[in-house]
Structure 1
Amino acid sequence: MPIFSFVQTKGGTGKTTLSQGVACSKTFAKAFGKVALVEIDPQGTLADWIGERIANKRALKNVAFHQLVGLDLGVLTSKLEKIVEENTAVILDVPGESVGGFATKLALNLSDLVFIPMRTSTNDEASFGRNLWPVIQESLRENKAAFHIVPTFIHPQTNTKNIQEYFRGIMPEQIDCLGSVLPFRSVFENFSREGMTLAEYSASVKGNNRLHAQAKKAEIDMETIAQEIVKLTKE
């Protein structure tokens, strides 16, 4: 049973959008059936989204949401172990923390696959080297998780192969890069209003050809990422 983490010490890289989108994807529903989406981030973006779903009477058929914040390490570990036992796949949305953040360390040690959302920017690269890479190096002594960059906020017309080669060229050899990317699209900033998933948002704007076309592209983006992740579990 795979455990996936979306980890990034720097904010604004698309970490929660990816956690949410992949967990609710058709690809994950087909591959795993029962998926746990676990928010360890005290910012509570996913909890707010779930609150909106409840208020608008929207159900999540194959995704179970858990918020684990404000807990000491022992309690957090215990609750995570129970969630792992009860689900076919687990996705951890981890808070942005400094080098000493215990939630990040725990996620890296528990996970089979760790995904690092990252933009092609000098600031993101510097933050990775200063804050996240030291924690990854420490975790590699205890856990053999596979690490992959997920390029985010990429121009939709960019050659994704070039992006993959760029990250592979600047990252340590232990860090690979997905071939799929999260493009910059306004849909990713707006779809979750009223607690919607990407698919639900797409259906809600079906009467507007322009918005629906944009939403379908965003759906394909997320499903493509989810498909590559599922493929990695079989390697």
Structure 2
Amino acid sequence: MIVALLNQKGGTGKTTLALHLAGQWAREGRRVTLIDADPQGSALDWSEQRTREGLPRLFGTIGLARDTLHSEAPELARSADHVVIDGPPRVAGLLRSALLACDLVLIPVQPSPFDGWASSEMLSLIEQARIFRPEIAARFILNRCGARTIIARETAATLGDHDPSLIGQQIGQRVAFAEAARTGRLVFEIDENSQASYEIAALASEVGRLAP
């Protein structure tokens, strides 16, 4: 399965979710490749930090920030159980190529009406991609949620009646994710019994069940 984390709005947590999905699946024994398709190269930076820290490689990370992604990702998928694409913000050619490459689009949004409005252009791109690949699936992920906030509940309720629909598992706003990004680690390596680790494991399980 090729999963792309995409949203034209920056700061929604695409890279964090992409790294943690790849890491969780690798932890469960699956062969995983992560494609950093963001010209900023944040996932590659994380991978390099991991090497500097002397940590073992859990999955392969390669940079492919070019609009030939739709032809290259399926080739990589032949030798992997899952390919995860960390997509770019607001680079139209790259976004379209990532959409045409994937089986499933995950759209991270934060609990804010502004994120919902900013997703409308992303949904339009998905519909355009479905002209060529009608089987592309899409889901929203509610990310960086404050505990028991009204806005998180309202955003979830709004997206619950939406098409694409909302992934059931929400991801909280947790210090562990910032620590993981800084040190080249994943949250389960910092504390496997943390709430962040449980949330990522549940998300990976739910996304895995969406495999075509």
Question: Quick one: which amino acid aligns to residue 202 of structure 1?
Answer: D
Q: Is the Cα–Cα contact under 8 Å of residues 150 and 177 in structure 1 kept in the other structure?
A: yes
Q: Which position in structure 1 is the counterpart of 2:82? A: 89
The gaps in structure 1 that reach 5 residues or longer are: 204-212
Deviation at 1:124, TM superposition (A): 1.0
Residue by residue over 1:28-61, the C-alpha shift from the partner in whole angstroms, topping out at 9 and shown as x without a partner, is 543x610001100011111111111111221124
Q: Structure 1 112/15 Cα, relative in aligned 2: closer, same or farther at 3 Å?
A: same
Q: Which position in structure 1 is the counterpart of 2:4? A: 5
Q: Is the Cα–Cα contact under 8 Å of residues 156 and 166 in structure 2 kept in the other structure?
A: yes
Q: Is the Cα–Cα contact under 8 Å of residues 28 and 230 in structure 1 kept in the other structure?
A: no
Q: Which position in structure 2 is the counterpart of 1:183? A: 172
Cα distance in structure 2, aligned partners of 1:226 and 1:126: 26
One of 147, 151, 160 as aligned partner of 1:156: 147
Cα distance in structure 2, aligned partners of 1:194 and 1:154: 23
Residue 138, structure 1, aligned to residue 128, structure 2? yes
One of 103, 107, 110 as aligned partner of 1:116: 107
Cα distance in structure 1, aligned partners of 2:158 and 2:177: 24
Residue by residue over 1:195-233, the C-alpha shift from the partner in whole angstroms, topping out at 9 and shown as x without a partner, is 112122227xxxxxxxxx7xx111011111111111222
Is the partner of 2:131 in helix, strand or coil? Answer: coil
Q: Which position in structure 2 is the counterpart of 1:166? A: 158
Give the CA RMSD over aligned residues. 2.2
Q: Is the Cα–Cα contact under 8 Å of residues 14 and 152 in structure 1 kept in the other structure?
A: yes
Whose Rg is larger? 1
Residue by residue over 1:58-100, the C-alpha shift from the partner in whole angstroms, topping out at 9 and shown as x without a partner, is 1124x1111113x4x34x44532331222121000000115xx
Residue by residue over 1:152-211, the C-alpha shift from the partner in whole angstroms, topping out at 9 and shown as x without a partner, is 121233598875432133x3x3x11111011111221222222112122227xxxxxxxx
Q: Is the Cα–Cα contact under 8 Å of residues 192 and 201 in structure 1 kept in the other structure?
A: no
Cα distance in structure 2, aligned partners of 1:103 and 1:12: 18
Q: Which position in structure 2 is the counterpart of 1:68? A: 64
Q: Is the Cα–Cα contact under 8 Å of residues 74 and 101 in structure 2 kept in the other structure?
A: no
Q: Is the Cα–Cα contact under 8 Å of residues 192 and 198 in structure 1 kept in the other structure?
A: no
Q: Which position in structure 1 is the counterpart of 2:48? A: 51
Q: Which position in structure 2 is the counterpart of 1:126? A: 117
Cα distance in structure 1, aligned partners of 2:195 and 2:111: 21
Question: Quick one: which amino acid aligns to residue 99 of structure 2?
Answer: L
TM-score by length of 1: 0.81
Residue by residue over 1:103-161, the C-alpha shift from the partner in whole angstroms, topping out at 9 and shown as x without a partner, is 111111121111000123122122112x2122111012112211100001212335988
The gaps in structure 2 that reach 5 residues or longer are: none
Is the partner of 1:192 in helix, strand or coil? Answer: helix
Q: Is the Cα–Cα contact under 8 Å of residues 168 and 176 in structure 1 kept in the other structure?
A: yes
* TM alignment of 1:209-228, pairs within 5 A: 216-228=194-206
Is the partner of 1:60 in helix, strand or coil? Answer: coil
